[in-house]
Amino acid sequence: MSHIRIEAVEIHHPANAVDNEFYFDHFDKQNNDIRRFLEHMGRKSRYVIDSDEENGLTMGIEAARKVLAKAGLQGTDIDMVVFSTQVPETTFPVNALYIHAAIGADAHTMVLDSNANCAGMVVAVDHASRYMLSAPNIRRALIVGSDYNTLVSDPDSAITYANYGDAAAAVILERTEEQTGFIDSIYHTDPVNRDFIRYPAEGLAKTVKHGSESKGILWLPFEAHAAMPPTFEMFETLLGRHGLTPQEIGSYCLSQFSLENVLKIQRQYGLSDEQMVYVGDRFGYTGTSSPFIALHEAVETGRVKRGDHVLFWSIGSGFQLVAMLFKY
């Protein structure tokens, strides 16, 4: 029986790092002290695109090239390319077509873009894994997640402007006969907050037809804690299906949106610091790629080894939760 394993993971980010002092000064001029907010979110620095030559697609291409090199593969070894983004450089053609061209993939390689907002790359890996299990001709898939978040951040909103960073991650999924890889996933969808985080703020039709003064993401206040009870239920259901306890998970590669969310999960199950992977202090919140930037950190530092169980979790605006279980 075939299984789908993560062969390699890589990341790419701009060279330009911006620390908190820039944002303190920016919002102090608006009489808005955001120091406690950034401490709560767990931010110290973030990478920000500062060049017209860089964007979400170029970051994705670099991450794709890096992961192929790490795995010792060529573009012709890839049978499927998925580009996960909520800030596409183009809506047509699909961004994955540019990835295909950049890596020199084969004519039979399928390409598509996907968008599940910040849950996107976890969803893309889940869907690609399940597709590969049903399509024996797909031996390897390249999943790229990249968001140029600061492009659409609102300079008057700390939750976007001071919180976000720009980065990309790429993973190669590979078919194997070993008892490893993708295990299962679970979702929780509640559209109660569907109008609270919007871009374009007034919708695409009105923006294109009539223009809009709102250039950044609309982010209205909402009860963020509402996501945690269903998250705990999801974890317990997913792990219970496979006879695992939270303590048996080697690493938790979670959304890096908020340090406090990571700590809530840690406290809920009495998990160790070693199990919790947090990189949001260095990268800011990178959106779709953030759980896989955490995986890259865990692999590179030796916290995740082959045979370890890894639990991915993220949240998309609106909101949708996804958890995915892998044996790395």
> Which CATH number is 121's domain given?
3.40.47.10
pLDDT for position 141:
98
Would you say the pTM of this structure is higher than 0.95? yes
How many structural domains are present in the chain? 2
Q: Are 130 and 242 members of one domain?
A: no
Instruction: Report pLDDT for 229.
Output: 96
- Is residue 97 domain-shared with residue 135, that is, in the same domain? yes
Please list the helix, strand and coil fractions of the chain in percent, rounded to the nearest 5, in that order.
40, 25, 35
Q: pLDDT at position 321, please?
A: 98
pLDDT of residue 224: 74
Residues in the chain: 328
Q: Which residues of the chain have pLDDT under 50?
A: none
The per-residue pLDDT for 152 is: 97
Give the pLDDT of residue 211. Answer: 86
Domain that holds residue 217: 182-327
Q: Which pLDDT score is estimated for 79? A: 98
What is the identity of the amino acid at 306?
Answer: R
Share of the chain above pLDDT 90, in %: 96
Q: What is the DSSP string of 151-177?
A: GS--TT-HHHHTTB--EEEEEEEEEES
User: Which tens digits make up the pLDDT trace of 153-209?
Assistant: 999 999 999 999 999 999 999 999 999 999 999 999 999 999 999 999 999 999 999
Whether residue 244 sits in one domain with residue 169: no
Q: Would you state the pLDDT for residue 214?
A: 80
**What beta strand segments (E) does the chain contain?**
3-12, 17-19, 45-47, 80-84, 110-114, 140-147, 167-176, 181-189, 197-198, 218-219, 251-254, 276-277, 309-316, 320-327
Same domain, 159 and 299: no
| pLDDT computed for residue 106 by the predictor | 97
Same domain, 72 and 167: yes
